[in-house]
Amino acid sequence: MARILITSAIPYINGIKHLGNLVGSQLPADLFARYMRARGHEVMFICATDEHGTPAELAAAKAGKPVDEFCAEMHAVQKDIADGFRLSFDHFGRSSSPRNHRLTQHFAGALAENGFIEEVSEKQVFSIADNRFLPDRYIEGTCPNCGYDKARGDQCENCTKQLDPTDLINPRSAISGSTELEVRETKHLYLKQRSLRADLEAWIDSKTDWPVLTTSIAKKWLNDGDGLQDRGITRDLHWGVPVKKGDQPWPGMEGKVFYVWFDAPIEYIAATAEWADAHGKADADWERWWRTDKGAEDVRYVQFMGKDNVPFHTLSFPATIMGSREPWKLVDYIKSFNYLNYDGGQFSTSQGRGVFMDQALSILPADYWRWWLLSHAPENSDSEFTWENFQTSVNKDLADVLGNLVSRVTKFCRSKFGETVPAGGEFGPREAALIAELQGRLDAYSACMEAMEVRKAAIELRGIWVAGNEYLQAAAPWTVVKTDPEQAAAMIRLALNLIRVYAVISQPFIPDAAASMMAGMGTEDWSWPEDIASALQVLPVGHEFTVPEVLFRKITDEERAEWQQKFSGVRA
């Protein structure tokens, strides 16, 4: 039995996420966690809400609430939605937790002791009306390159030119619109990433099994242009982790907080400690996942994230851990994803374009979305959600293939043999051929799941479903029963056991439907079907079953058209 630590990129607190966010980290991480548990491994699956920084403050102000109250409410909302999608986190933490405060301050102190923190004086834009320093992205103005009048202080969205706030013509606060801006000097702490370049490069080079997407992004940020840069880890904000060296004040840093991208990844560790606290466990119980001097040397650590998060997880967070010179666990494998686009364009949080997680659950159960998103995961390139494709996939894969098999088998057995597994005779050549095909397909499915090849795994799983349907179509027990009831009973005995097998192996993708199939078969035997021939004998003759409710209903053309229109515009 292996020990697998799994983290997915933590969602930001300022709003409900869309389906593209879901499939880029949390959902495939859940798929892997569920599979690894099903194979008997010990899993720690961690996520949290990312709660610090200017966007959180602004979202709270817009909602008319104190930022801590707003974050607490939004954490509960995101946790509820995660539960709705059946995301099986062992703990869903908060980056504003006392554990994360202490750990962030601890890492900063360790980095300083080892000479990896530098105090830098720099000039930043201060808004008199807002009484705050403005991050670059909260300064707007006219681009000096193309004349676009809503360019941000870090980049012009129109011509993509990289900018500094002082480059903008007629700059203004994006928060209040005020033009009462001035440049003031302030001091900040910088993580000396360039001093850790050799460590980072050797570590990245050692990861020969990483996906090409992950490695290419990591090496681009490490080597392109000016190469790896030192990075500011503090901000002049009110909401965040106060700047301290461990539990000691940091002279000259009073009133400042750590930059959200410094404290957010540390929350992976802190959330595991929060899990221990919540379950009345000792520090040793979470340290065995994270400290290589406390048992974590045996842990395999896998991260899941969208490609935009790769630089921080291959450079900045590892630099924090390496620079501490303490025995913390570094990630072993980073599974990164491209973007999911929406129906001919992009998801837009600001415009409400696309399906957001709460809306998705309001119109269809989680399994419908889980199946489509995972079977179309943007692994090797960007992918696109269209309502036509979604309808086709649900109706064919889930309703026609899987759902139809379960319904036909159970209803036919009830009508001809009653609601118990019939005896019948021995399996013949047709059944032997099916068993051989299923064994090969199951082995391929397992290999894809081990390798985190999500789309390929979905293809293999669907192939397993199809094989069962094709067997039934060819065997035709509803015809054979008229002339050879014993042979028909053997076919149905195999098919009922096959439903239990389908429940077990489909559970990582569609957990609710799997639970319904298992309940219908009247068993709690979730043992993985290592050997298909044996697995098709698990439900004994005379075992009682019930006919499950319809697993999946079809999406009508009218519903598809309605939803396509509903989610095309600005969200109310």
156's enclosing H/E stretch is none
- The single residue listed with the structure tokens 């062992």 is 90
Q: 6 with 43: CB under 8 angstroms? A: yes
* Cβ-based neighbours of 166, under 8 Å, separated by 6 or more: 125, 183
What does 38-103 look like in DSSP terms, one character per residue?
HTT-EEEEEEEEB--SHHHHHHHHHHTS-HHHHHHHHHHHHHHHHHHTT---SEEEETTSHHHHHH
Query: How many Cβ atoms from other residues are within 10 Å of residue 553's Cβ?
Result: 14
Strands (E), 349-396: 383-385
Give dist(CA 436, CA 313) in Å, integer: 43
Q: CB pairs under 8 A, 24+ apart, for 560-564?
A: 560/387, 560/388, 560/390, 560/391, 563/355, 563/363, 563/387, 564/343, 564/387
Residue whose C-alpha is closest to residue 331's, from 322, 320, 319, 318: 318
3-state secondary structure 124-150: EEEECCCCEECCHHHEEEECCCCCCCC
3-state secondary structure 387-423: HHHHHHHHHHHHHHHHHHHHHHHHHHHHHHHCCECCC
What does 205-226 look like in DSSP terms, one character per residue?
HT-TTS-HHHHHHHHHHHHSTT
- Cα separations (Å) of 291 from 272, 280, 297, 371, 466? 12, 19, 8, 36, 45
Residue whose C-alpha is closest to residue 143's, from 160, 129, 126: 160
Residue whose C-alpha is closest to residue 367's, from 550, 501, 563, 512: 512
Q: Is 47 annotated as a binding residue?
A: no
Q: Is 413 annotated as a binding residue?
A: no
The length of the chain, given as a count of residues: 572
What does 514-563 look like in DSSP terms, one character per residue?
HHHHHHHTT-------SSHHHHTTSS-TT-B---PPPS-PPPPHHHHHHH
Type of residue at 273: A
Residue whose C-alpha is closest to residue 547's, from 448, 412, 427, 441: 412
Query: How many Cβ atoms from other residues are within 10 Å of residue 270's Cβ?
Result: 26
Give dist(CA 154, CA 159) in Å, integer: 12
Q: 450 with 300: CB under 8 angstroms? A: no
Task: Give 300's Cβ-side CA count (13 Å radius).
Answer: 13
Q: Is 159 annotated as a binding residue?
A: yes
Residue numbers in the known binding site for Zn(2+) are 143, 146, 156, 159
Binding positions are 143, 146, 156, 159, 349
Q: Which residues are documented as binding site for ATP? A: 349
